[in-house]
Amino acid sequence: MSACAQLELACLRALLGSLGARGQALAELHPRANDLRSAAEGPAALDELWWSELEQLEREAGLAPAHHAPARTDANYYLRRRDLARWTRWRDVAARLDRTWRCLLEWPASRARDACIRVGLRAIASAAVSVPRHELSLWLRPLGAQRAHDVLQLMIHRQPPTPELAAQVSLLTPELALERRGDSLLSALGRRVLAARLRASVDLAAIDSAGVGSSDLLRLLRLESPLTVASAAENRTIDGWIAQLVN
């Protein structure tokens, strides 16, 4: 018998039990009288059935248990019920999203940051193409040796040109470099690029109306000033970068 069915029977048993002898008589007339008797003889307490039902619903929803504290306290039960309701609403909204953005918005903070860094590397590489060779080393210095090497590798593979984006990146990078270095700079730049495509690719109104809260990445992107690109060809190229993040 499923946890949900056990819980239903336990609640019904408690209700009929409160009616005394009349309740027992009603229980015998119930279409599931045998199940009610079995439930009455079972060892599981009502609170155990509540927790079993919740864990079963979490498994069916695909909600990872690692998201929750393991202690079975009243507060944690409430928090897990709340998270389950939000997750269910989010999955309804996510079903209407592009697969790429659905994955990005569901990733934890550390993985989302790595995605921003990878997009930032692509953006830097697009701008570095127009930097004179004798100035390139100095221009890439704020990234650090390893990230500068990653940019050079992308340049060698000759990604499709994005001149409109590159012009904005060339202006923004020195400004970011005043306060940031390395991955912090790349992550900030990547968020600016992703923020522009977020507004074009995701129905933010649907997410807001569902009351599902915000993922770590979504909260960050909403705070960013996006790098806007009007060229359809360049936007397709940027969307290709983003798609590669989840492939």
User: What is the rounded radius of gyration, in angstroms, for the C-alpha atoms of the chain?
Assistant: 27
Residue with the larger pLDDT of the pair 6 and 188: 188
* Residues 80 and 131 both lie in one domain: no
Q: Which of 47, 75, 94 is the last residue of a domain?
A: 94
Residue 152 domain boundaries: 99-244
In the prediction, which pLDDT does 125 show? 92
Residues 4-61 have pLDDT tens digits of 565 566 665 665 555 556 656 666 666 666 665 565 555 455 667 677 777 888 887 7
* Residues 46 and 104 both lie in one domain: no
Neighbours of 185 (CB within 10 A): 23
Residues 159-183 have pLDDT tens digits of 788 889 999 999 998 899 888 999 9
Residues 49 and 176: beta-carbon distance below 8 Å: no
Residues 153-164 have pLDDT tens digits of 988 887 788 889
Average pLDDT over residues 213-235: 81
Instruction: Give CA–CA dist 102/247, Å, rounded.
Output: 13
* Residues 68 and 85 both lie in one domain: yes
pTM flag (> 0.85): no
As for how many domains the chain has, the answer is 2
Q: Does the pLDDT of residue 68 top 70, yes or no?
A: no
C-alpha dist (Å) from residue 153 to 116, 145, 159, 246? 18, 12, 10, 20
Q: Which of 47, 70, 94 is the last residue of a domain?
A: 94
Average pLDDT over residues 129-137: 86
* Residues 130 and 240 both lie in one domain: yes
Instruction: Give CA–CA dist 228/1, Å, rounded.
Output: 56
Instruction: Give CA–CA dist 12/205, Å, rounded.
Output: 41
Nearest alpha carbon to residue 247 among 94, 93, 90, 99: 99
